[in-house]
Structure 1
Amino acid sequence: MHDFKNFKVWQKAIELIKSVFKSYEHLPNDEKFGIKSQIKRSAVSIASNLAEGAGRNTDKQFVNFINMSQGFSFELETQFILIQDLFNIENQDEFVKIF
């Protein structure tokens, strides 16, 4: 077993979750149960899978959960790209203000 709280990647995932939750309010309310909900779930899943994997008994199981976290990070990146396209955010600085 590993202490996931000491992993830099887990710590950064927690910061990412905080950023997503804070910036989430800038999206239209009609997206509350659409992409807004999905980005929150994806962000939380990254850190959650790292923590769950750290509690597993073998390195092979741990690596599997790391891979799942990576998959959720790709999912979140895809959602960010979609948000840029849907809301016509062409300027990267404007996108950073939202996220």
Structure 2
Amino acid sequence: MKTRNFRNLEIYHLAHQFVLDIYELVKDFPKSEDNNLTSQLRRAATCLPLNIAEGSGANSNKIFLNFLIFCYRSCLECEACLRLSKDLGYIDDQKFGIYFEKLDRFIRKLYRYMQYLEGSIGDRKRDKSFFYRQNKHYFDDNMKKRESMRALC
């Protein structure tokens, strides 16, 4: 298998920029949140490029796909943290919308790359069920929900 270089992946660069943006955002959070919501949001966001980088070194697309699934789950964690931040009054609706859009754009690119990877796995009949059986409904349901959320932002 050809080795992947995470530095050449668009999803890596989007994730990296999202982390930088999150670090800038949380600078204005209350000091009392440093060891709680601030830390959790930073860690969840940091997981995005780190899982892409680590997974890109895997010796199979199937293993890389697992890392991207972890990355997606961290995206959901970021979204939950952003919602809490808004509800607690740390960010306003406008900032929430901006960061939601950034995260949504990343998730869409990630999802398409995951579909591409899944399609390139060797024995498609057997391995395709790996992704679809465990995650397809999960991603499709969340993508529909994200569509309706984007309409609200």
- Structure number, greater radius of gyration: 2
Which residue of structure 2 lines up, in the alignment, with residue 93 of structure 1?
Answer: 94
Which residue of structure 1 lines up, in the alignment, with residue 51 of structure 2?
Answer: 49
- Greater RCO, 1 or 2 (C-alpha within 8 Å, sep 6+): 1
From 1, 12, 15, the equivalent of 2:14 is 12
The answer to whether the aligner puts 1:28 opposite 2:17 as a matched pair is: no
Contact map agreement 1:10 1:50 (CA 8 A) in 2: yes
Extract unaligned runs of 5+ from structure 2: 101-153
Distance 2:99 2:31 in 1: 14
Contact map agreement 2:86 2:93 (CA 8 A) in 1: no
Residue identity in the other structure for 2:88: L
Which residue of structure 1 lines up, in the alignment, with residue 73 of structure 2?
Answer: 71
What is the count of residue pairs matched by the alignment? 98
Aligned CA RMSD, in angstroms, stands at: 2.1
Contact map agreement 1:20 1:43 (CA 8 A) in 2: yes
Extract unaligned runs of 5+ from structure 1: none
TM-superposed CA distance for 1:92, in Å, is 2.4
Which residue of structure 1 lines up, in the alignment, with residue 150 of structure 2?
Answer: none
TM-superposed CA distance for 1:22, in Å, is 1.1
Regions of 4+ moved over 4 Å = 96-99
Distance 1:97 1:70 in 2: 19
Change in Cα spacing, 1:98 to 1:77, as seen in structure 2 (3 Å) is closer
Normalised by the size of structure 1, how large is the TM-score?
0.89
Residue identity in the other structure for 2:93: Q
TM-superposed CA distance for 1:93, in Å, is 2.0
Name the SS of the counterpart of 1:56 in structure 2: coil
Distance 1:11 1:98 in 2: 16
